[in-house]
Amino acid sequence: MDGSDPPIGEVSRTSLTPVPPRQARSRRTLERILAATEVLLAEAPFEEITVAEVAARAGISIGTLYGRFRTKRALLAAVCARRFGTGTRDRSREYLRRFAEREMSLRQRAREIVGNMLAHYGTNRVLLQELDVRGGRRGAGQEAAALRELEKVFHEGWAASLLANRSEIDHPDPDGAVRFALFLAASACHGALVREDPSAAGVQEEDLAEELTRLVIAYLRHSGAAYAGAASVARRPG
């Protein structure tokens, strides 16, 4: 686990599987390792983090760390599973179910959804940057699969919530419009916070949240009548 792991396509399933903890003490050690890795990820790129640094921060020996994780890729996969895995997905589904049941205006829903997106991309910025380097959401690793599943849960829940206010949506295709509006907002959040796009440099998060909410609402409330009218004027004989 020296940072020279083989390419993704050459990593065996066995090498990516951490040794499962068998006792309470072992589980506590695993939690310390993962927590230490997350703290270090907030300070430096994953490739710059050494085994010795993780072990020291977790308060364990290097040998204990090697006994748990055979490669750095396995360690990254475990951190992603902790952040994006089954437990997080289940809690997110419950939150989204309750969110969809709340009495809110379309704008209030959109604003909270955009806030959720910014929190997701901001809190997980370093992990998401690492995954982007390794192929992003389309990557074949366990890390990318966990992220895809979690974001699918979020997008389905957010869509159901917005569609609970269908009567406020003027777009001729509410279902399609909601999916596309979520795609636009998520892409903008990812670009600003994860890819750190220069075009978003200096934009405060609160301003970004407000402008993305405006974008979502304007799109969902656009009936298309203006476009139809313009097309009809363009076709009118001179």
Taking the CA atoms of the chain, what radius of gyration do you get in angstroms? 22
pLDDT grade, residue 206 (50/70/90)?
very high
The architecture of the domain spanning 8-80 is Orthogonal Bundle (1.10)
Taking the C-alpha atoms of residue 131 and residue 83, their distance in angstroms, rounded to an integer, is 13
83 versus 7: the higher-pLDDT residue is 83
pTM: predicted TM-score of the whole model, two decimal places: 0.76
Domain 85-232 has CATH 1.10.287: no
- State which amino acid sits at residue 46: F
Q: Given this chain, do its domains 8-80 and 85-232 carry the same CATH topology? A: no
Query: Across all residues in the chain, what is the average pLDDT?
Result: 84
Structure tokens at 123: 């809190």
Domain coordinates of the chain in residue numbers?
Answer: 8-80, 85-232
Indicate if the pLDDT at residue 227 is higher than 60: no
Instruction: Encode pLDDT of 14-56 as tens digits.
Output: 344 455 555 777 889 999 999 999 899 888 888 889 999 999 9
Residue pointed to by tokens 């440099």: 201
